[in-house]
Structure 1
């Protein structure tokens, strides 16, 4: 694996973990939340800079079902994250307190809702690149061959993660958070570790769902090509 690809993976991994930490607002407190948010903003800008060629190639080449869906998700992720970060700066009380905002309730709602939607869209975004991520990890670890036992083991692990993710999603009231704004916050007594495990498992639902849905779409497209 070349250094650029490794840097991309590390940048994206750190950004993902920090986004999860930023979501744990009532565990970290406001100052840490804002500092982590600024770092996420920087990493997000780096992520888009490193993938700038993708934007130039949007209208080029063949637009398959997979590619159309990926373009839609990526652009939606960009818009959602941009709205979340702009609203974050405007409502900041510690790092950017000098920005005068009289009635910030609408901005707070925008920030919270886009944060939760960004979390879900980010997981789907990762799901689109999951095959590439796995192949990169294989090259890093020197795994070149296939193993039926390893494949079965990983799929069982994926099922367990998804199952726990569904449980965590209901426990964390994720559906309500996506559609209902609670000005008093969503309090819980979770530890930082449990919060991260729960939300990583929730991400697992959308990563696995997207990955296997794309494999199904790809197999259907191959069948159509073979028939023609």
Structure 2
């Protein structure tokens, strides 16, 4: 394992923890939300720099169903994070004066953009993690000496986690924020930070499982399609 790869993994873990903390906005307080959000945005920029080779290969990619699915998730994730950065700069007053006077509804726009980017970003980042689940699976099994391999491979346990996370997704009504049906995010003041983390972690797990399943399905479809094309090519040659 190279130093660069280790650095990427450590950065991803830190960003993931920061993401969960930022999603608990009201429970950690506005100031902490701002500070951690800034660190998260800086981490995202570093993440993109470390992944510069992927961005360079986008144009030359062969756009199969599998590659297109991955590209869509990655680009949408990038857009939501970019939306968070832009809306945060407006909130933190890092914008030229002429923009404030020219666009009096800029703050309202920033608030809407921030809400959309935060909740769509949360789901898309979870799906982005699902695309790379095999890497995290290998690391978890390696450092736990395969003690968790049964849990991670058990279909029953995965279904329980998936349904629990789906229930929390519905319970916290995230879809209403994602579709702007509700512009005010409600937090239960009596809920502990730990309880919030567990519930939101389950939502992350649900979309990791969904994304990983879709990735494997598209890959299998692509493999079968390639095999079929090869067979048809051979028959045509005969």
Q: TM-score, normalised by structure 2?
A: 0.83
Deviation at 1:62, TM superposition (A): 2.9
Is 1:52 the equivalent of 2:55?
Answer: no
Deviation at 1:125, TM superposition (A): 1.0
- Rounded to whole Å, the distance in 2 between the matches of 1:41 and 1:169 is 24
State whether residues 113 and 181 of structure 1, in contact with CA within 8 Å, keep that contact through their aligned partners in structure 2: no
Partner of 1:213: 214
Q: Secondary structure at the match of 2:206?
A: helix
- Rounded to whole Å, the distance in 2 between the matches of 1:55 and 1:97 is 28
Partner of 2:80: 80
Distance 1:153 1:225, change over 3 A: closer
Partner of 1:196: 197
- Rounded to whole Å, the distance in 2 between the matches of 1:193 and 1:187 is 14
Which structure has the greater CA radius of gyration? 2
Q: Which runs of 5+ in 1 are unaligned?
A: none
Q: Deviations over 1:49-102 (max 9, x none)?
A: 11110000112243321111111211111111111111112113xxx5887545
State whether residues 112 and 181 of structure 1, in contact with CA within 8 Å, keep that contact through their aligned partners in structure 2: no
Deviation at 1:226, TM superposition (A): 2.5
Partner of 1:163: 163
Q: Which runs of 5+ in 2 are unaligned?
A: 232-238
Partner of 2:2: 2
State whether residues 69 and 215 of structure 2, in contact with CA within 8 Å, keep that contact through their aligned partners in structure 1: no
Distance 1:201 1:151, change over 3 A: closer
Partner of 2:14: 14
- Rounded to whole Å, the distance in 1 between the matches of 2:182 and 2:125 is 22
Q: Mapping of 1:77-116 within 5 angstroms?
A: 77-92=77-92, 96=93, 101=100, 102-103=104-105, 104-116=107-119
Distance 1:221 1:153, change over 3 A: closer
- Rounded to whole Å, the distance in 2 between the matches of 1:91 and 1:69 is 33
- Rounded to whole Å, the distance in 2 between the matches of 1:51 and 1:117 is 22
Q: What is the number of equivalent residue pairs in this alignment?
A: 221
Note the aligned Cα RMSD (angstroms).
Answer: 2.3
Q: TM-score, normalised by structure 1?
A: 0.87
State whether residues 41 and 85 of structure 1, in contact with CA within 8 Å, keep that contact through their aligned partners in structure 2: yes
Deviation at 1:12, TM superposition (A): 0.7
Q: Deviations over 1:122-148 (max 9, x none)?
A: 1111111112332344455565xxx9x
State whether residues 165 and 199 of structure 2, in contact with CA within 8 Å, keep that contact through their aligned partners in structure 1: yes
Deviation at 1:197, TM superposition (A): 1.0
Is 1:130 the equivalent of 2:133?
Answer: yes
Q: Secondary structure at the match of 1:166?
A: helix
Deviation at 1:185, TM superposition (A): 3.2
Distance 1:185 1:223, change over 3 A: closer
Partner of 2:69: 69
- Rounded to whole Å, the distance in 1 between the matches of 2:5 and 2:201 is 23
Partner of 1:30: 30
